[in-house]
Chain A
Amino acid sequence: MDFLRPASWEEALAAKAEHPTAVPIAGGTDVMVEINFDHRRPEYLLDLTRVGDLYEWEVGEDSVRLGASVPYTRIMENLRAELPGLALASHTVASPQIRNRGGVGGNLGTASPAGDAHPALLAAGAEVEAESVRGSRRIPIDAFYTGVKRNALAADELIRAVHINKADGPQQFSKVGTRNAMVIAVCAFGLALHPGTRTVRTGIGSAAPTPVRATVAEEFLGAALDEGGFWDSGRIIPPSVARQFAELCSAACNPIDDVRGTAGYRRHAVGVMARRTLMWTWESYRGTDRATEGAA
Chain B
Amino acid sequence: MRVNFTVNGRPQEADDVWEGESLLYVLRERLGLPGSKNACEQGECGSCTVRLDGVPVCSCLVAAGQVEGREVVTVEGLAEYAQQRSRGTGACGTSLDEARWWSAQGTDSGTGEGTELAPVQQAFIDAGAVQCGFCTPGLLVAADEMLERNPNPTDADIREALSGNLCRCTGYEKIMDAVRLAAARQGEAV
Task: Tell me how far the C-beta of A277 lies from the nearest C-beta in chain B, rounded to whole angstroms.
Answer: 22
| CB neighbours of A29 from chain B (8 A) | 43, 58, 61
| Known contacts A33-B42, A36-B22, A97-B46; is-contact A28 B61 (Cβ 8 Å) | yes
Instruction: Indicate with 1 or 0, residue by residue over A1-18, a CB within 8 angstroms of chain B CB atoms.
Output: 111010000000000000
Whether A216 sits at the interface, judged by CB under 8 Å, is no
- Chain A count of residues within 8 A CB distance of the other chain: 28
| CB neighbours of A100 from chain B (8 A) | 55-57
CB-based contact A96/B142 at 8 Å = yes
| CB neighbours of A182 from chain B (8 A) | 44, 163-164
Instruction: Indicate with 1 or 0, residue by residue over A37-50, a CB within 8 angstroms of chain B CB atoms.
Output: 10001000101010
| CB neighbours of A36 from chain B (8 A) | 22, 41-42, 60
- Chain B count of residues within 8 A CB distance of the other chain: 28
Task: Tell me how far the C-beta of B74 lies from the nearest C-beta in chain A, rounded to whole angstroms.
Answer: 14
Q: With A and B bound together, what is the CA distance between A100 and B61 in angstroms?
A: 12
Instruction: Indicate with 1 or 0, residue by residue over B40-84, a CB within 8 angstroms of chain A CB atoms.
Output: 011110100100000111101111011010000000000000000
CB-based contact B20/A41 at 8 Å = yes
CB-based contact B56/A5 at 8 Å = no
Whether B96 sits at the interface, judged by CB under 8 Å, is no
Whether A256 sits at the interface, judged by CB under 8 Å, is no
CB-based contact A97/B142 at 8 Å = yes
Instruction: Indicate with 1 or 0, residue by residue over B1-33, a CB within 8 angstroms of chain A CB atoms.
Output: 100000000000000001110100000000000
Q: With A and B bound together, what is the CA distance between A97 and B63 in angstroms?
A: 15
Q: With A and B bound together, what is the CA distance between A36 and B68 in angstroms?
A: 20
| CB neighbours of A59 from chain B (8 A) | none
Q: With A and B bound together, what is the CA distance between A126 and B133 in angstroms?
A: 45
**Residue of B at shortest CB range from A91?**
B160
| CB neighbours of B160 from chain A (8 A) | 96, 181
| CB neighbours of A181 from chain B (8 A) | 160, 163-164
Our pick among B60, B161, B164 for the contact of A32 (Cβ within 8 Å) is B60
Q: With A and B bound together, what is the CA distance between A54 and B142 in angstroms?
A: 26
**Residue of A at shortest CB range from B38?**
A36
Q: List the 3 closest pairs (A to B, CB-CB), nearest first.
A: A95-B164, A181-B163, A1-B19
Subset of 11 A-B contacts with CB under 8 Å: A28-B61, A32-B43, A33-B41, A36-B22, A47-B66, A95-B43, A95-B163, A96-B164, A97-B43, A98-B61, A180-B163
Task: Give the B-binding residues of A (Cβ under 8 A).
Answer: 1-3, 5, 25, 27-29, 31-33, 35-37, 41, 45, 47, 49, 94-98, 100-101, 180-182
Given contact pairs A32-B61, A95-B44, a sample of 7 additional A-B residue pairs in the complex whose CB atoms are under 8 Å apart: A33-B42, A33-B43, A36-B60, A37-B42, A47-B63, A97-B56, A181-B160
